[in-house]
Chains A and B, each alone.
Chain A
Amino acid sequence: MGRAHASQWPQVSGAKMVGVLDCSMEKSKEVADYHGAAAYEFDEFDAMVRETKPDIIDICTPTPAHRPYVERAAAAGIAVFCEKPLARTLADCDAVVAAVERTGIPFMAGHVLRFFPEYASAKRLIDSGAIGKPAAVRMARMAGMPDPNKSIAESWYKDPGQSGGVLLDMIIHDFDWLRYTFGPVSRVFAKGVYTNPKYAGTLDYSLVTLRFESGVVAHVTGSWAHPGGFHTSFEIVGDAGMIEHDNARSAALTVALRGTGMNTGVVVPESPQIPEENPYYMELQAFVDALKEGRTPPITVYDAYEATRIGIAALTSIETGKVIKFQ
């Protein structure tokens, strides 16, 4: 995710990338050189802060490192943009919230799905009453296992203890969007294989059912079991209509390249957008704009906390076989 953000920062007006820190100095230098910024290694956070004097720290580390870096940035009084999920455990989430509250630093979480045009469009339609009162919702986010050629030891994504698997790393996006659109969740029930050692590092699949205080029922599919491609979809039914989206049906461009054999080749569907509507650009620009105008950034630490709480409730439901009820 660091590279995705790095490629967008140059477009953000009112901001400039001044430093890059990574546990690999090689990677750090590569990105920093490209952007004309200073490169730092793993343990050089204090040096980076001292030398580059940043106004914002953008945290794109593996999930377990979110907490320590938010705490260090907060202690230095620097605004934080933090990738999702907020943390791997609720205790770490509590610590992040406490650090943000104690220091009063501006904070925004990278629940970027809110900036994806198909999801933003759906929310506008729902808010305008286009489908009446919402009742039944289905969402899906399906892909292959990340880091297919790495072992669990080499890939923090593959280690549920670090990433929380497909549930906490990927469909947390849907949890945030659902809560943002339909309000507070009252209970969570889930099935999945994330703790099953039989499938460790090869696949992950979760089916989650959520009940909202408003009465809405939602189902979320999270898959790291799908070979080939990235598939997202949603359907939202209200008492006066329904909206649906499927990225397989909204590819505005499909590139098919001929291979050497009869039926070989590769087909890549795309949904191109203008750079100003790139969701990763938009979330960073929204943060910078809020800072410049002295506003609260649009996705707060509490929003990120609640999304993570839903994800962890789903993990707990899988582990215990029980319904997790929220107060």
Chain B
Amino acid sequence: MSSFKIGIISFAHMHAWSYADAVVNHSGATLIGIADPDPKRGAEMAGQHKTEYYPSTEALLAQGLDGVIVCSENINHRRDVELAAAAGVKAILCEKPLATTVEDARAMVDACAKRGVKLATAFPCRYSAPYQRLRQQVQGGAIGDVIAIRGTNHGSLPGGWFTDKALSGGGAVIDHTVHVADLNRWLLGKEATEVYAEIGSGIYHQEWDDTGFLTIEYQDGVFATLDTSWSRPKTYPTWGDVTMQVVGTGGVIDLDMFAQNVVHYDDKAGRASWVNWGSGTDAGLIADFIRLVGGQDAPNLATGEDGLQALAVAVAAYRSADEGQPVSIAS
């Protein structure tokens, strides 16, 4: 079996670490190198994953890669994806959110399509075993027709560039809308048509939003709410959550994606924490990406278009909050 040559552009997003790990552990792929504008971080990450550090994206892309993973700041996704597409890689996996504007996301999708490069969006929650079980149950008709979904994707304050709007494109809403927006859409097989949002900054009192309560309407009148807030305090036992209460005509399924924990009462840290023992998601995501690189089908992997549709919900949320009204999404 041939080994596909994979490169990672930027470790700005911490997910790059576990993606790198999954590539290294994949028998059909080799991590050729890491490009990062920060030489210290880049060299350190390359060392940890026993690969090469390249000071520029161009230098990394000159290595004749088969696949590229983009984990730069949100605002740089478009630039990095377009560079990778121009370098003629077979497939690109881009960290979520795909971009900060629908226009940028559309340009990325088009640029890849024009060159025959496959674009995927990193939505690891699709690979969660509890979510896949939920999807199997719902699609098997266990709860009849879905009427509504109540979702949350809470987090603690991420800090760094996530709270620099020039790099992130917003706050909690752009950071946390897309995961559950994608999970809802993939579960329902329906497009979001309208979004209403109450957005606030009452927790940290900064110019970026830390509170987002979205209401999303889907085709056929299915409705959902989604709490995207960075509302977990510093003393909370874990980083946050992904939950979905799926209400159907025949019953209700509650998903708490990260409930599989042991509780660690830690005297040294002065707090209790939840240590998750659930099955990981990144190995499944990266395995599908490697399939895509190899020209195989990877039907569970979110495409660039999927990433764009999820982003459109976040963008509509900000617009709704500005206008004080529900706004429609043109999909």
Contacts and interface: CB of A to CB of B under 8 A. Distances in A.
A202 to B, nearest CB: 8
B326 A135 contact: no
Interface in B297-331: 324-326
B203 interface: yes
A193 B147 contact: yes
A189 B326 contact: yes
Interface residues of B, number: 36
Interface stretch (A56-64, A75-83, A217-225, A276-284): A217-225
B198 A241 contact: no
Nearest to B216: A191
B215 A135 contact: no
A323 B327 CA distance: 11
B78 to A, nearest CB: 31
Contacts of B223: 191-192, 207
Contacts of B231: 135-136, 237, 242
Contacts of A221: 150, 245
A199 B147 CA distance: 10
A203 B221 CA distance: 16
Contacts of B215: 189, 191, 207, 209
A195 to B, nearest CB: 12
Contacts of A219: 213, 225, 227
B204 interface: yes
Interface in A280-298: none
Contacts of A238: 203
Contacts of A26: none
A199 B249 CA distance: 8
Nearest to A217: B198
Interface in A238-297: 238-239, 241-242
B326 A209 contact: no
B158 interface: no
Contacts of A227: 251-252
B229 A323 contact: no
B211 interface: yes
B161 interface: no
Given A192-B223, A323-B196, 9 more contacts: A191-B217, A191-B223, A191-B225, A199-B147, A209-B215, A237-B229, A241-B233, A241-B235, A242-B233
Interface of A: 133-136, 138, 187, 189, 191-193, 196, 199, 202-203, 205, 207, 209, 211, 215-217, 219, 221, 223, 225-227, 237-239, 241-242, 321-323, 325
